[in-house]
Chain A
Amino acid sequence: MRIPSFGLTTGVAAATTVDDVTVIVTESLSKRYPRVTALDRLSVDIAPGVTGLVGANGAGKSTLIKILLGLAPATEGTAHVLGLDVTTDGGAIRERVGYMPEHDCLPPDVSATEFVVHMARMSGLPPTAARERTADTLRHVGLYEERYRPIGGYSTGMKQRVKLAQALVHDPQLVFLDEPTNGLDPAGRDEMLGLIRRVHSDFGISVLVTSHLLGELERTCDHVVVIDGGKLLRSSSTDEFTQVTASLAVEVTDTDAHPDGTEALRAALAAAGAAVTTRPAGSEGLVASGHLLYVEAAGEETYDLVRDTVAGLGLGLIRMEQRRHQIAEVFRDADAAQAATATAGAPGAPYATQDGGAHDVA
């Protein structure tokens, strides 16, 4: 059915032509339990590609995936996956969708090959096809000779690959990856993120990946959906998230004239009209926040301004580096927005970063 391979761009073409419209559509989707509202009138459209689903623990990510797999009924609202209604076509959806759970799910006493073959058959693949697809898929996720050994002896990274393989073995059109980088070391994370990128770019399979580590989604996803407390905070492309403005991180020494050099610089820059903040913009960077200044870079002149101001105060410039806005900032923005008004959750409030700039100044 897919891409006869002509030119050099077929992989990418396939990725965007398999399903032109959307892979996931929800409309005012709600899920209420007796005590807690897991999803609150969530409306999102997710296009083919790699989409990040961001939210703190308990934000409703798992509930959303459960509903999208047709495993839990929504309290109200509708959801469609690959054009199929989750309430009536759950089986058909699960045949065409892959799922990689967050937690361990692998029995240690069988080999990766045996396990993935079994899972392929559970997805409806005939025995021969199940074996062929297993060999192919394990190779694609980077498991070679070790696939014949019992899973119990695998490293965390290898186990994650097996988990990914079982989600891909039946060649789904869409995979849900729940925290796929959990428990991996930095190198393992990078490899897993690269693999996720390839799932879309090389395999033509759309991906919905959840994470609470926001930094990694910037690099991996085309689109990011942020939910919190079951509500949609934002849904926009990664570029819009991160490239609206650049900012400079500046660190200076203290001198006798200015015992608190950082504060002196902040005051001087603010007086000169630059947007300065002392808080690290990303929630990840909690270190040394007292000694770093974040300056909105309006253009070349901002660099000059910082240089001249530092020199004028007689401070030592330890570093001045460019950093892009991180997705993490939307949480801060959202908090601020929520404090002001509750409308941040409305689906129609897409690009809140302009407001975010204002918060930074404040």
Chain B
Amino acid sequence: MSPEPMTSTHPASPSGAPADAYIHNIGYRHYDGPRLGRAYARRSLFSQSLRGSYGLGRSAKSKVLPLLLLVAMCLPAAIMVAVAVVTKAQALPVGYSRYAVFLQAVIGLYLAAQAPQSVSRDLRFKSIPLYFSRPIERVDYVASKFAAMAAALFILTGLPLLILYVGALLAKLDFLEQTKGLAQGLVAVVLLSLLFAGIGLVVSAVTPRRGFGVAAVIAVLTIPYGAVSAVQGIAFVQGHESAVGWLGLFSPITLIDGVQSTFLGGSSSFPNGLAPTTGAGFVYLLVTLAVIVGCYALLMRRYRKAGL
């Protein structure tokens, strides 16, 4: 128990000496360096979560799915670009802001796989108290996780747009038009990323079981979409075309579809390409923002009791 033998090496500076060379002789060394505090911890949690969403810093196995899905997101864009360049097309076959809506299944799968990974893990293995016994607060934890998930989705949905843009310029399409399209597309995927991240995290934060989280996220994304599409189809066939525009409010991806087709120059995937009116479009935008804020509030609530 006595510290005597240790203290002779005490002044050894933390740097320099190869620590492993004399394992048993080094006494405890205090840390006198900087402590970067809460903002730094928040950034660290953000980057760790973002990297984790692509399997970085985790096992090789957990890198497979996210990277596969990223490839699946980018491949159609690359093919379209190749076709456009070869055929010297006058326009890209799909608009920037609509691209993500087409590939919603891939985005949904990615979210279902990564959102539970990001939050259920800490709940399941009860690591949360370790975070909250450190300088960060609940709001830092929730904001970091939310931002990291949204950023991961933004990479997933933004990268193909970038490929489309670069390809369009290579195909010598109009620069101004393409840049405007890219900007609109990026706004659309930012909204989509925030919305999906919020929904995915709220659903996965409910259960510490990762499997349930995956299933629940898929269900929350696909069941409303299926229902909305079916009812929209019926309404369209029966001639209630105004109802079609409003029905899209009830599933995440049609929300984004409505916003992008009203404000961001895209065309919608609703039956017959119907787009909501401008007034309805505002409602779409409001609902989208309300859902994002609501998800954040729900997450804050979820972690209120998650202290020690």
Contacts and interface: CB of A to CB of B under 8 A. Distances in A.
B174 interface: no
B34 A122 contact: no
Contacts of B62: 109
Contact of B33 (A3, A94, A107, A129): A129
15 contacts: A5-B11, A11-B2, A11-B6, A12-B3, A101-B126, A104-B125, A106-B125, A110-B58, A114-B57, A123-B41, A126-B33, A126-B40, A129-B34, A136-B26, A170-B35
B37 interface: yes
Contact of A126 (B15, B23, B36, B132): B36
B278 interface: no
B23 to A, nearest CB: 6
Nearest to A93: B135
A107 B135 contact: no
B121 interface: yes
Contacts of A108: 125
Contact of B129 (A97, A101, A150): A101
Interface string A83-99: 00000000110110111
B177 interface: no
B27 interface: yes
Contacts of B29: 136
Pick from B2, B8, B35, B126 the residue with the most CB of A within 10 Å: B35
A118 interface: yes
Pick from B31, B48, B125 the residue with the most CB of A within 10 Å: B31
A198 B1 contact: yes
Nearest to A1: B32
Interface of A: 1-5, 8-12, 62, 65-66, 69, 71-72, 91-92, 94-95, 97-99, 101, 103-110, 114, 118-119, 121-126, 129, 132-133, 135-136, 139-140, 144, 150, 166, 170-171, 194, 197-198, 201-204
A99 B6 contact: no
A146 to B, nearest CB: 14
A193 to B, nearest CB: 11
B130 A121 contact: no
Contacts of A121: 40-41, 44, 48
Give me the 8 closest cross-chain CB pairs, A-B, nearest first: A11-B3, A99-B133, A171-B31, A5-B10, A124-B35, A121-B44, A203-B28, A8-B4
B228 interface: no
A122 B33 contact: no
Contacts of A69: 133, 308
B131 interface: yes
Contacts of A5: 7-8, 10-11
Contact of A202 (B23, B27, B126, B129): B27
A124 B41 contact: yes
B182 interface: no
Given A71-B307, A91-B38, A3 B19 contact: no
Contacts of B2: 11, 201
Interface string B248-264: 00000000000000000
A105 B127 contact: yes
Contacts of A95: 35, 37, 134-135
B68 to A, nearest CB: 19
Given A69-B308, A139-B23, A94 B135 contact: yes
A119 B4 CA distance: 30
B41 A106 contact: no
Given A4-B11, A11-B27, A71-B133, A104 B126 contact: yes
Given A122-B134, A132-B14, A99 B129 contact: yes
B272 interface: no
A129 B31 contact: yes
Nearest to B45: A122
A107 B125 contact: yes
Contacts of A1: 30, 32
A119 B307 contact: no
Contacts of B31: 125, 129, 133, 170-171
A167 to B, nearest CB: 8
Given A109-B58, A170-B35, 17 more contacts: A11-B3, A66-B307, A69-B308, A71-B308, A91-B135, A101-B130, A104-B126, A107-B125, A121-B44, A125-B35, A136-B19, A136-B28, A170-B31, A171-B30, A197-B1, A201-B3, A202-B1
B238 interface: no
A126 B4 CA distance: 31
A221 B99 CA distance: 65
Contacts of B87: none
A101 B41 contact: no
A171 B28 CA distance: 10
Contacts of B57: 110, 114
Interface string B154-171: 000000000000000000
A135 B3 contact: no
B136 interface: yes
Contacts of B45: 122
Pick from B48, B125, B137 the residue with the most CB of A within 10 Å: B125
B7 A11 contact: yes
Contacts of A9: 3-4
A157 B15 CA distance: 30
Contacts of B14: 129, 132, 136
Pick from B48, B121, B133 the residue with the most CB of A within 10 Å: B133
A79 to B, nearest CB: 16
